[in-house]
Structure 1
Amino acid sequence: MTFNVIKKQSDDNFMEWILDPESKLKQFQDIKILMKNEYLNDPYDWVVAFSSGKDSTLVLKLLWEMLSELRKDQRHKNVHVISSDTTVETNKLTSFLHKSLEMIAVNGAELGIKVHLVTPRLIQRYFRHVIGLGVIPPVPGKGFQWCTDRLKIAPLNSKMTEILKQQPVIIPEPEYNHRLTLLLGVRLDESIKRASSIKRHTSNDFFGEHDYIPNARVFHAVRDISTDDTWNFLRYKNKELPWGMPLENLEAMYGGTNIKECPVIRSKKELNKSCGDTRTGCWVCLLGGRKDKMLQELIDGGDESVTYLAEWKEFLFDVTFDCRYKDPIKGIKDIEKRVQKTSNKGFLDNPAIWHEEEFNRYIEHYKAYERATKGNERGEYDPGKFSFEMRRMLLEKLFYAQEMAGYTLISDEEVLLILQEWSNEGYNVAREELKTINHQYDGAVVLKRDWTINEKETTNRNPIFFVEVPLNMPASELAVYHKERQRLTGRSIFCFYSHTDYNHAKMVYNTATFLVCKKDIATLEEATSYVYEWLYLEGHNTTGIDGKPFTKMTKEARNAALNHLMIDTLGVAIKSMDERVESLKNQPVNLMTISEEEIDKISRKWSLLQKWIRIEKENHIEEYDKINDKSTLTNKKIEFSYNCVDLTKNGQLAFLF
């Protein structure tokens, strides 16, 4: 519907109120009569879900007027006005809501009105989930809208359940299927989806069942009232609402007429259709897209503090799609428990795969090797939560927004809870270590489901490199090692796992492919060096006997580097062996022509490669050289030692002793 059509309809409606107000007022009088009859015949308490928007205000105004018209002895029960403060709504809206509730509590007491302001518990808070746990926020068309349940539904339902338990036991029981009535300000005129939902969940014209609270019914008193009639009724011969709030204050909360209200949720089917492009949407909400109409209207209206909230939200929106800031490891706690149970059982000590005959022993190891797989069960890109690095950036940027806005965006208690959540994951950060930083963003790197770069959505202009690192650790141990590097360095490099399987040679090893896209990295060699430093060297700082600090490899990093170097160095030789064995399998007649000396050479070479790939204790370098053409090895220089590892400028590892 075009703007001109909407404006004409509004103008026509206004003229109807001017020329024939009695007929316009009749529909509201009918609602009050219905309210009165239901109120007087219902022995149980009523609840009004009040968001301080126009629709819930309309319901409360009609109910207030009805109660005022009753005799004092007829007001036989409590009317509970419940509001939810999600803690992530704009300062303007929160202040308006709190002021409204104060007036309602004071001026509505003699009518039996009791006010309840509910907030999510600390563990339900938005920042605890996104920044503390790394949970990805809901975005348009993707993901479950978890925040609505935690921030609104759970606190409201908890209070309603509490009120329900306080209802009297009546004997004999009334012929009601409910023990509590909830009045909601939802209207058919709001949207097609809203109208459809109301019709699905009402047993008759005005009443329906509550999806979450048993024994509670829902009263859609204003379901048939249009938006224009809502405003014109609120304005009719009144400059303030019954509880004393100036009407102009309510009107000021709405700016553009196209901004709708984010209502209280009653239906499970409404859960993913409830928020987004709304007047009362949380300022952190991404469902309306990167640009927020509500925030922009506040900025245009002169509230400069909201500029910093909008900037933080845009930052969150951008990084939500960036694969570089996603943790590639899922279910790490279960993986760590599994690895811990088997960590003391080495290959030679595991009776399940031990055979006296060396050949069978290696074959069993090949079969039992825990292969790493790429992506989800279908091999698709399916990233996990935010990396710790990004979570810390989000918190520090939030501190900046809070300082610039001049009012609280996150409580000290929630900050401490976030630090505890980080500590539970192995990231120990003291409060004083966190800085107030306006982190900037260099543009997103977005992947498609098939792991290719999404050129349309990728906005980062820096070159993108993929660095494949063979690590030869079972999948679980590889994940645990990766997580330890994240904890040690406080950073993460996004990667995906896979494995290389030489079926004929019966050799297999795992690999991690890292995605690198950074401002100062312009070549693959620089990207490789960057990955190697993070993977083996960074994070473990100590002081030498000369008093100077230096970076020392951890025991786990040294073992991982040895595993990487061994596989990387022997790659050509293993491939050659696989091709040789395949050739012999495909031409069995030629086996008769191979001398016993050649067969023995192949057998010993196979056995030695198996020992090398597992870095077993014996030194096999000289023995391998005797039976192998050195040209099958790579050109990397290898010198073995047990002390340290150095990263050369070209990104290759050299062991120095």
Structure 2
Amino acid sequence: MSNSYFNENTLEDLMKEIEYVYLSDNRPWIIGYSGGKDSTVVVHLVYTMLLQLDPQKRHKPVYVVSSDTMVENPLIKEYLSDMITAIGNAAKRDKVPLTCKLVQPDPSNTFWANVIGRGFPTPRLNGSFRWCTDRLKIAPSGTFIENIINKHNSEVVILLGVRKDESITRKKRIEDREIIGKLLNRHETIKDAYVYPPIVELTTEDVWDIISSNNNIAAWGTSNSRIIELYAGADSGECPFAGVSSKNEQTQSCGQSRFGCWICTVVKEDKSLNGFIRSGHRELIPLAEFRKWLISIRDIEANREKKRRDGKVYFTPSGKIGLGPFTWEMRKEILTRLLRLQEQINYELITIPELKAIDKIWDDELDLTRLELVNLYYDVTGKKLPWHDLKKPLFDIPTIEKLSNYAEEYDVPIDLVKNLIFVTTKNKHFSNPKILRGNLEKSLTQQWLHASVLKELEDED
């Protein structure tokens, strides 16, 4: 194979390097494991090294951490869960100091809590508000790493399955962070962490060669046939994994697919999701259709507020007021369709803790009845949420109707009326009245209430 790492080195050389780094100090290791081919190879190599190592030298723990965004492709989520369980059980059986952990975003900070609860517009590739990766992946993993640092009162070494061969952009990023002649680099954001990329020089073909070695059996004992099938399926069956039995045969690699969230709105086309559908997973069609619909509603003005969540406004180059979060009506529509989809495919797409978090957000910001979400859930599913019967409205329906009528009669925005009520409710029990007054003043001076004046001032400039 051209430009292969193994043209000049051997697998034994790589194993010796991994062992050398492991034995060099007492810093715990943390492996980022996504279930993809690269991270699979990293776990496989480290597990193999630990098995081969004298038990007395297995002196420090290795943590395998996987991030479940809670909107993973169902096929990948099931596979990842199975592998985490299998690796963890095997480690106990083989008495190697390796433990597995699956981390998730907090229920109040998941994809649906932000889109349906707070109304965040769905992320886009070139958008200025691409909020998903940090909240769904980086933050949960970062919290776990910080906990390990605190637990051991020590720096840690993070092993990543990054490779220069993946793309020119990735190659440049890796090389920009390299300290020539050193195997470890400082982590960009975690001060007590270093990064070790053991397979950084491997090609895609090298990776698949390792996965297919030993009759496709991973170091912990499970078959790698499943990951090969997933990559082939994600490439819509056009990428069968094949070895080379003679130099005249063509090798096909399944290395170009990337697994991601089924609802990902950053990419124009979810190639892996559509690939799985084309390769026979027809059960995923409703997910693809929902994703397409969610993207289609993002930039429709009627679906979006004309202010940001903090009440600020901005103007587009054409002079129009910019779009903010999804309207409450649109958020209810998204939730309704999501729950119907969940019922249709009989697969959990939004969890009960997420629904509780969304309910709390709506209670604090939008819903004077405090019954909208529980009633919506009951109407769609025919089932009550665990806290349904405990909900009490802030005001009864006749009072809310009077507030709306008064707001219309005196030309006061109903959103302002509701905001003042919510602020008062949240702050009225503070012993210092300045806190309540200060928050009321903030509500009354938010930019959206004075958008026309701001536009005039901007035009004058």
Give TM-score, length-normalised by structure 1. 0.53
- RMSD across aligned C-alpha pairs, in angstroms? 2.9
**SS of residue paired to 2:86:** helix
Is the CA contact (8 Å cut-off) linking 2:235 and 2:275 kept in structure 1? no
What's the counterpart of residue 406 of structure 2? 555
**SS of residue paired to 1:253:** helix
Structure 1 pair 70–330 and aligned structure 2 pair: CA distance change class (3 A): closer
CA distance in structure 1 between the partners assigned to 2:47 and 2:328 by the alignment:
50
Structure 1 pair 233–186 and aligned structure 2 pair: CA distance change class (3 A): same
Letter of the 1:286 counterpart = T
What's the counterpart of residue 201 of structure 1? 177
What's the counterpart of residue 406 of structure 1? 346
Is 1:140 aligned with 2:125?
yes
Structure 1 pair 248–332 and aligned structure 2 pair: CA distance change class (3 A): closer
CA distance in structure 2 between the partners assigned to 1:197 and 1:144 by the alignment:
22
1:364-417 CA distance string (max 9 Å, x none): xxxxxxxxx983699444211111111111101101111111110001121122
CA distance in structure 2 between the partners assigned to 1:381 and 1:27 by the alignment:
61
What's the counterpart of residue 215 of structure 2? 238
State the 1:324 CA deviation: 1.4
1:224-249 CA distance string (max 9 Å, x none): 10001110221123222111221110
Is 1:327 aligned with 2:285?
no
What's the counterpart of residue 318 of structure 1? 296
What's the counterpart of residue 359 of structure 1? none
2:364 to 397, 417, 424: 424
State the 1:279 CA deviation: 2.5
State the 1:25 CA deviation: 9.4
CA distance in structure 2 between the partners assigned to 1:131 and 1:331 by the alignment:
13
The structure where helix makes up a greater share of residues is 2
1:251 to 219, 228, 248: 228
CA distance in structure 1 between the partners assigned to 2:310 and 2:40 by the alignment:
48
Is 1:436 aligned with 2:380?
yes
CA distance in structure 1 between the partners assigned to 2:272 and 2:354 by the alignment:
25
Structure 1 pair 400–28 and aligned structure 2 pair: CA distance change class (3 A): same
Map 1:343-354 → 2, pairs under 5 A: none
1:393 to 327, 333, 356: 333
CA distance in structure 2 between the partners assigned to 1:195 and 1:380 by the alignment:
41
State the 1:555 CA deviation: 2.4
More relative contact order, 1 or 2 (CA 8 Å, 6+ apart): 2
State the 1:194 CA deviation: 0.8
What's the counterpart of residue 149 of structure 2? 164
Is the CA contact (8 Å cut-off) linking 1:44 and 1:168 kept in structure 2? no
Is 1:285 aligned with 2:264?
yes
Is the CA contact (8 Å cut-off) linking 1:25 and 1:233 kept in structure 2? no
CA distance in structure 2 between the partners assigned to 1:107 and 1:540 by the alignment:
59
Is the CA contact (8 Å cut-off) linking 2:165 and 2:203 kept in structure 1? yes
Is 1:149 aligned with 2:134?
yes
CA distance in structure 2 between the partners assigned to 1:213 and 1:324 by the alignment:
42
Map 1:142-541 → 2, pairs under 5 A: 142-167=127-152, 179-204=155-180, 206-255=183-232, 279-289=258-268, 291-330=269-308, 375=315, 379-427=319-367, 428=370, 429-434=372-377, 435-436=379-380
State the 1:204 CA deviation: 2.7
Letter of the 1:94 counterpart = K
**SS of residue paired to 1:189:** helix
What's the counterpart of residue 593 of structure 1? none
Structure 1 pair 554–191 and aligned structure 2 pair: CA distance change class (3 A): same
Is the CA contact (8 Å cut-off) linking 1:120 and 1:151 kept in structure 2? yes
**SS of residue paired to 2:215:** coil
CA distance in structure 1 between the partners assigned to 2:9 and 2:210 by the alignment:
11
Is the CA contact (8 Å cut-off) linking 2:165 and 2:171 kept in structure 1? yes
CA distance in structure 2 between the partners assigned to 1:203 and 1:230 by the alignment:
24
Give TM-score, length-normalised by structure 2. 0.74
Is the CA contact (8 Å cut-off) linking 1:187 and 1:225 kept in structure 2? yes
Is the CA contact (8 Å cut-off) linking 1:134 and 1:387 kept in structure 2? yes
Structure 1 pair 278–147 and aligned structure 2 pair: CA distance change class (3 A): farther
1:321-351 CA distance string (max 9 Å, x none): 21111101335669xxxxxxxxxxxxxxxxx
The number of residue pairs the alignment matches comes to: 370
CA distance in structure 2 between the partners assigned to 1:412 and 1:70 by the alignment:
45
Letter of the 2:352 counterpart = D
CA distance in structure 1 between the partners assigned to 2:65 and 2:280 by the alignment:
31
1:70-115 CA distance string (max 9 Å, x none): 1111111111111111110011111111110111111123111111
What's the counterpart of residue 80 of structure 2? 97
CA distance in structure 2 between the partners assigned to 1:43 and 1:553 by the alignment:
65
CA distance in structure 2 between the partners assigned to 1:28 and 1:394 by the alignment:
50
Is the CA contact (8 Å cut-off) linking 1:84 and 1:118 kept in structure 2? yes
Q: Percent identity?
A: 28
Is 1:130 aligned with 2:115?
yes
CA distance in structure 1 between the partners assigned to 2:275 and 2:146 by the alignment:
37
**SS of residue paired to 1:182:** strand
1:544-581 CA distance string (max 9 Å, x none): xxxxxxxx9812312339xxxxxxxxxxxxxxxxxxxx
**SS of residue paired to 1:295:** helix
